[in-house]
Amino acid sequence: MSLTPSSAITEILAVGRRLDARGLAPATTGNYSVRLNDGCIAVTVSGRHKGRLDQDDVTQIDLDGRALHAKPPSAEAVLHACVYRLYARVQAVLHVHSMPSITLTRVLPRGSDVVLEGYETLKILPGVTTHDTRVVIPVFENSQDMPALARVVEDRLVTLQPAPSALLLRGHGLYAWGATVEEAEHVVEALELMMSCELETLRVGRT
Amino acid sequence: MSLTPSSAITEILAVGRRLDARGLAPATTGNYSVRLNDGCIAVTVSGRHKGRLDQDDVTQIDLDGRALHAKPPSAEAVLHACVYRLYARVQAVLHVHSMPSITLTRVLPRGSDVVLEGYETLKILPGVTTHDTRVVIPVFENSQDMPALARVVEDRLVTLQPAPSALLLRGHGLYAWGATVEEAEHVVEALELMMSCELETLRVGRT
Amino acid sequence: MSLTPSSAITEILAVGRRLDARGLAPATTGNYSVRLNDGCIAVTVSGRHKGRLDQDDVTQIDLDGRALHAKPPSAEAVLHACVYRLYARVQAVLHVHSMPSITLTRVLPRGSDVVLEGYETLKILPGVTTHDTRVVIPVFENSQDMPALARVVEDRLVTLQPAPSALLLRGHGLYAWGATVEEAEHVVEALELMMSCELETLRVGRT
Amino acid sequence: MSLTPSSAITEILAVGRRLDARGLAPATTGNYSVRLNDGCIAVTVSGRHKGRLDQDDVTQIDLDGRALHAKPPSAEAVLHACVYRLYARVQAVLHVHSMPSITLTRVLPRGSDVVLEGYETLKILPGVTTHDTRVVIPVFENSQDMPALARVVEDRLVTLQPAPSALLLRGHGLYAWGATVEEAEHVVEALELMMSCELETLRVGRT
């Protein structure tokens, strides 16, 4: 899609309102970004409610995650930049905090990834054409040293084939991406549904 | 009800917005159809968000599930056609992915159907006049070979008396139908409520 | 409050939209009534979605539950009439099907009532002035013979002191009442919250 | 922020509508306050639905919790006053009843506080800069003697370093505060998310 700054802002504000309406933007959690047609990245600033963003709440970074404007981006913008560097097809990255993504990564043994298997909804993920498969969503330990975390993430993502559409930070939340804002949003919604099914299965399945 | 194409489109768009508002249309999941007054079937295309459909997102198939227009229907349209062939009274079919329908079919032993018993809400289902009964919602193994799955579904549905108002695909979701879009929607809502009660009972009842 | 028929209809339509927005009116479940200033009762007809009622969906009964108009009321209208006969202060009765009310009455041993103890939210119930109390919500076996059920309900309610603000039908749902539509609605919301806490405690508390 | 009475009322009505939309204002539960620029406190009256407040539903107290107007405040206004006396930076206090806050305080052993550890969402709380920490939300026994409870609360809060942003009353609900209504609202939303994760972990984690 590759957008102008003003259309990127319009898309980011709209997706914030939609994610908030689905309960995926409590307090000031989350951050969202879009790749611009000049190769830079529009990304939300820190500390704002994502369901009530205005156009001043979006700033710009370059592909190395460096701030291009006076308004500083979220510290997590370096993770967004990392995803754009790795995957040329990705034009949008969405990060949300949600009960399923936080809890599932906390109750799984440390070091485990989230493995989704046999769900028809897996076909929402780009490149997945059958439910009869096994999709791994890599889980990383959370960190406050975002540049260091971005290196860890990049080192692992490059080894994964096929390229994932999402990652999880333990006790923190979900990053999802796609070729458009809409595709990234669909990945978020599909994974939230499947992660809630995984938690429900853990609760119920211990019969 | 038996509708013209344009009133069918209006109904399909409206029910998509309502199901989405209830959390029953995450990402691009689900598909919806209506029998037209010329005997053909209006059905949603693939890959669109069902809460934000526009009129170009509805196409047509015949009763054998063959595409009648350039826009291809969802691959699952053959399942819709199967339901219309079997049940002359059915004028609308709705398919949704939801946490209860996906999880319940995954935690039950493979080969089990969902059995609902003693719920007053059963009386929402067409033909059910008392809570003091036992309603079986047949569960089928999911498949990516939709024509083959449609044959399996048809072979079993014809044997079921009384005719069911819904079926489940394991790890996939719910199909529900009725004499109007509204009746099919009521079947969806009633079954979602009762399946959520079933899951809650599994969680709680193991005291 | 004691209303004219037209203001009663306005109140019933409005409370239906609010309960539906809270997820308390799936499919065509529930029915609502208001005592009129001539001593008759306005009550919803059967088979309509309670979030989308129009003025033709309200009819009238007398205090014995007999239909006064051509449009027949819900079969459960005799339960509404029973509550109005017993309690002069009651001007509105609301009945809803919800996951907590259905599941809690199904997982408790048959014959048990729902007992709520120690909740601050109990003070929402008329006449309750402290959390440090024990409120019994009587549970009745569901029946399709509504006149017989109404007699069973009446026989038991007259013995209960203080007068309850609600009752439950097993596997069916909640009846709540109050001196106004708003008070009855508050009883519904307070009990839904406390019943969801009870279920959560059953799930969690078996450590 | 420090507001005029009329802007305080505007803020209180708006936050009530937002909390209600998130399901955090059932029946007439909760109460909200704002510090005014003359040092007094605007606070909601009792018995009104917090999602449908109008400007007559806000009254004023002084810092000792004494009513300044004919309309009496909620009995819990003395707890709001206590928070404003202790913490000069606090300009808004929000109190809500919710399933997680009620249930979590009931299932924990009596006398336990809620301890949150390792959540990225902790950084929403003022003064918290890393997930790698342990935040204690003090839990107090509920009481109907609000002045006595306010003394117990004050005696304990003064001993807590760093100053908490919230407290819980057992079986009752959450009090949260901040330098603005918005900051207090963010504390509510962040704690509701983390408490729902804690409950989910209790359910799931007993593998």
Residue A46, chain D, CB below 8 Å: the answer is: no
pLDDT 10s digits, C75-90: 999 999 999 999 999 9
Give first-to-last CA distance, chain C, whole Å.
48
CA dihedral D172, D173, D179, D180 (to 10 degrees): -110
Residue-wise burial string across C102-123, b where 16 or more C-beta atoms lie within 10 A, e elsewhere: bbbbbbbeeeebbebeebbbbb
DSSP output for D28-56: T--EEEEEBTTS-EEEEBSSS-TTS--GG
**Distance, CA of A74 to CA of A81 (rounded, Å):** 12
**Distance, CA of D43 to CA of D50 (rounded, Å):** 12
D1 pLDDT tier (thresholds 50, 70, 90): low
Q: Please compute the mean of the pLDDT values over residues B56-68 and round it to a whole number.
A: 96
Beta-strand ranges (E) seen in chain C are: 31-35, 41-44, 58-61, 92-96, 114-117, 134-137, 139-140, 166-169, 173-178
Residue C178 bridge partners (DSSP): C92
Residues in chain D closer than 8 A to A29 (CB atoms):
121, 124, 190, 193
Over 80: is that where the pLDDT of C207 sits? no
Give the one of C186, C200, C204 whose C-beta lies nearest to D27's C-beta: C186
Residue A35 exposure: Cα atoms within 13 Å on the Cβ side? 25
Q: Are C78 and C86 spatial neighbours (Cβ–Cβ below 8 Å)?
A: no
Show the tokens assigned to D170. 């057992």
Task: Tell me whether strands C166-169 and C139-140 are parallel, antiparallel or unpaired.
Answer: parallel
D204 pLDDT tier (thresholds 50, 70, 90): confident
Residue B41 φ/ψ, nearest 5 degrees: -125, 130
Distance, in angstroms, between A147 CA and closest chain B CA?
A: 32
Predicted ipTM > 0.85? yes
Q: Which residue, among A31, A76, A99, would best test binding to D if mutated, counting the most D CBs under 10 Å from its CB?
A: A99
Mean of the per-residue pLDDT values for chain B? 96
- Using alpha carbons only, how large is chain C's radius of gyration in Å? 16
Over 90: is that where the pLDDT of A27 sits? yes
Distance, in angstroms, between A15 CA and closest chain B CA?
A: 13
> Quick one: which H or E segment has residue A134?
strand A134-137
- Say what angle helices A181-204 and D181-204 make with each other, to 10 degrees: 40
Q: Please compute the mean of the pLDDT values over residues A156-178 and round it to a whole number.
A: 97
Mean of the per-residue pLDDT values for chain A? 96
State whether D193 and A99 contact (CB < 8 Å): yes
Residue D170 exposure: Cα atoms within 13 Å on the Cβ side? 18
Query: What is the CA B69 to chain-centroid distance, rounded?
Result: 23
What is the CA angle B14-B19-B21, rounded to 5?
Answer: 95
Q: What is the pLDDT of residue B204?
A: 86
Show the tokens assigned to D71. 């309309």
State whether D26 and C204 contact (CB < 8 Å): no
Show the tokens assigned to C54. 């129009």
Provide the residue count of chain C.
Answer: 207
Three-state secondary-structure class, residue B19 = helix
Residue-wise burial string across D27-44, b where 16 or more C-beta atoms lie within 10 A, e elsewhere: bbbbbbbbbbeeebbbbb
Q: Are A84 and A93 spatial neighbours (Cβ–Cβ below 8 Å)?
A: yes
Share above pLDDT 70 across residues of chain C, in percent, rounded to a whole number = 98
Query: Quick one: closest CA in A to D207, which residue?
Result: A206
**Distance, CA of B103 to CA of B198 (rounded, Å):** 11
Q: Quick check: bond before D162 cis, omega within 30?
A: yes
B207 pLDDT tier (thresholds 50, 70, 90): very low
Over 60: is that where the pLDDT of C170 sits? yes
Give the one of D49, D97, D144 whose C-beta lies nearest to C193's C-beta: D97
Residue C23, chain D, CB below 8 Å: the answer is: no
**Distance, CA of B176 to CA of C54 (rounded, Å):** 26
**Distance, CA of C169 to CA of B125 (rounded, Å):** 19
Over 70: is that where the pLDDT of B66 sits? yes
Q: Are D186 and D124 spatial neighbours (Cβ–Cβ below 8 Å)?
A: yes
Over 70: is that where the pLDDT of D207 sits? no
Please give the DSSP secondary-structure letter assigned to residue C184: H
State whether C202 and B201 contact (CB < 8 Å): no
Query: What is the CA A205 to chain-centroid distance, rounded?
Result: 29
Give the one of A120, A132, A203 whose C-beta lies nearest to B203's C-beta: A203
**CB D64: neighbour CB atoms within 10 A?**
11
**CB D14: neighbour CB atoms within 10 A?**
14
State whether D142 and C121 contact (CB < 8 Å): no
Sign of CA dihedral A88, A89, A91, A93: negative
Closest by Cα among B96, B88, B84 to B42: B84
Distance, in angstroms, between B200 CA and closest chain A CA?
A: 8
Is the pTM of the predicted complex or chain greater than 0.95? yes
B130: burial class by Cβ within 10 Å (0-12, 13-18, 19+)? exposed
**Helices (DSSP H) in chain C: which residue ranges?**
5-21, 77-86, 99-107, 146-157, 181-204
pLDDT 10s digits, C100-114: 999 999 999 999 999
**CB A1: neighbour CB atoms within 10 A?**
16
Residue C63 bridge partners (DSSP): none
pLDDT 10s digits, D145-162: 999 999 999 999 999 999
State whether C202 and B197 contact (CB < 8 Å): no
Sign of CA dihedral A18, A20, A21, A24: positive
Over 80: is that where the pLDDT of B138 sits? yes
Over 80: is that where the pLDDT of D206 sits? no
Which subunits have 3 or more CB–CB pairs within 8 Å of chain A?
A: B, D
Closest by Cα among C185, C188, C181, C165 to C7: C181
Residue B188 φ/ψ, nearest 5 degrees: -55, -50
Q: Which residues contact A22 (CB under 8 A, 6 or more apart)?
A: A189, B23
**Distance, CA of C34 to CA of C178 (rounded, Å):** 10
Give the one of C124, C130, C200 whose C-beta lies nearest to D27's C-beta: C124
Lowest mean pLDDT among A92-101, B197-206, C129-138: B197-206
State whether D97 and C200 contact (CB < 8 Å): no
Residues in chain B closer than 8 A to C74 (CB atoms):
none
Distance, in angstroms, between B107 CA and closest chain A CA?
A: 6
**Distance, CA of C53 to CA of C9 (rounded, Å):** 10
Q: Are B170 and B105 spatial neighbours (Cβ–Cβ below 8 Å)?
A: yes
pLDDT 10s digits, D19-63: 999 999 999 999 999 999 999 999 999 999 999 999 999 999 999
**Helices (DSSP H) in chain D: which residue ranges?**
5-21, 77-86, 99-107, 146-157, 181-204
Please give the DSSP secondary-structure letter assigned to residue A205: S
pLDDT 10s digits, D165-191: 999 999 999 999 999 999 999 999 999
Residue D199, chain A, CB below 8 Å: the answer is: no
Query: Quick one: closest CA in B to A187, which residue?
Result: B27
Q: What is the pLDDT of residue C204?
A: 86
Query: What is the CA A111 to chain-centroid distance, rounded?
Result: 19
Over 70: is that where the pLDDT of C1 sits? no
Q: Which residue, among C22, C116, C120, would best test binding to D if mutated, counting the most D CBs under 10 Å from its CB?
A: C120
**Distance, CA of C174 to CA of C181 (rounded, Å):** 15
pLDDT 10s digits, B82-113: 999 999 999 999 999 999 999 999 999 999 99
**Distance, CA of A55 to CA of B179 (rounded, Å):** 48
